[in-house]
Amino acid sequence: MAEFWWLMPLLAGLLLALVAGPLGSFVVWRRMAFFGDTLAHGALLGITFGVLTDINLTLALVFGSMLLALVLLPLERRARLSSDTLLGIVSHSTLAIGLVTLSLAQGVRVDLMGYLFGDLLAVEPADVLWILAAAVLVLILLVWQWRPLLAITVSSELATIDGLPVKRLNAMLILLLALIVALAMKVVGILLVSALLIIPPAVARTLSRSPEQMVLLASGAGALSVLGGLWASFRWDTPAGPSVVVTATSLFALVLIGQSLRGLSQR
């Protein structure tokens, strides 16, 4: 089995790409890119809690991300500051607090570089099981609530008039996002997790003509990014997580160039 060690990283990456497609599409539609970034930075507090209490780090990550999401939801609505200012304060503050706390903890050694930039090649079967369970849960809930989620994304006011539970749907979407952000940190890290959610849907948005088509293309673009990133990592011995993001960025650039050339040819 030693020669097939790469199957776990590949499976983890493809599962995350599959579920990041639809969730990332909602992030792009609702302009929540900074929200995902804040959840990723704040998840470091979950790692700190897990290290200090000696509980499962994946569970601590998920718990920390979801707790921060639940705190941000009412805080964002009631704060006098603008949304991006508030998220910026929370994002950098939680990251700094987590780093300082870990540095002060006696006798604790943590692979911070792995959490900051990801370590896809170090993914274990237990991590894949976590991601698989989360992917199944997310996809079931998104399929079940697809139309209501689209409705509140287009107009929360009209959705409220139609009798949809807007607050509950928003909370569900944010918690699902927090769950995937926490698990994606193992693959691409705290500093790059937003890229996995934003870039593939951005690629898909320029090519799609319907929400459903965009979701499928976003998952496909994410899968291509994972395959290309892992190949580049094996070929040139580069970090796997950043290589996935670079591949996704290259796809986005190619799509933009292709559309520009197409526009010029039609003139």
Range of 80's domain? 2-191
Q: Is residue 228 part of a domain?
A: no
pLDDT at 80: 61
Q: Is residue 257 part of a domain?
A: no
Residue 38's domain is classified under what CATH number?
1.10.3470.10
Q: Is residue 222 part of a domain?
A: no
pLDDT at 1: 47
The rounded distance, in Å, linking the Cα atoms of 17 and 208 is 18
Q: Is residue 92 part of a domain?
A: yes
Alpha helices (H) along the chain: 7-29, 33-53, 57-78, 83-104, 112-117, 125-144, 146-154, 156-161, 166-188, 193-205, 211-236, 240-265
> Residue 235 corresponds to which tokens in the numbers above?
């070929």
Q: Is residue 210 part of a domain?
A: no
pLDDT at 267: 66
Tens digits of per-residue pLDDT, 127-157?
899 999 999 999 999 999 999 999 999 998 9
Q: pLDDT class for 2, splitting at 50, 70, 90?
A: low
Tens digits of per-residue pLDDT, 172-215?
999 999 999 888 887 788 778 888 899 999 999 988 999 999 99
Q: What's this model's pTM, rounded to 2 decimal places? A: 0.90
The rounded distance, in Å, linking the Cα atoms of 1 and 8 is 11
Q: Is residue 77 part of a domain?
A: yes
Q: Is residue 232 part of a domain?
A: no
**Residue 107 scores a pLDDT above 70:** no
Angle between helices 240-265 and 193-205 (to 10 degrees): 20
Q: Is residue 83 part of a domain?
A: yes
Average pLDDT, the chain: 85
How many structural domains is the chain composed of?
Answer: 1
| Identity of the highest mean pLDDT range in 27-41, 80-94, 105-119 | 27-41
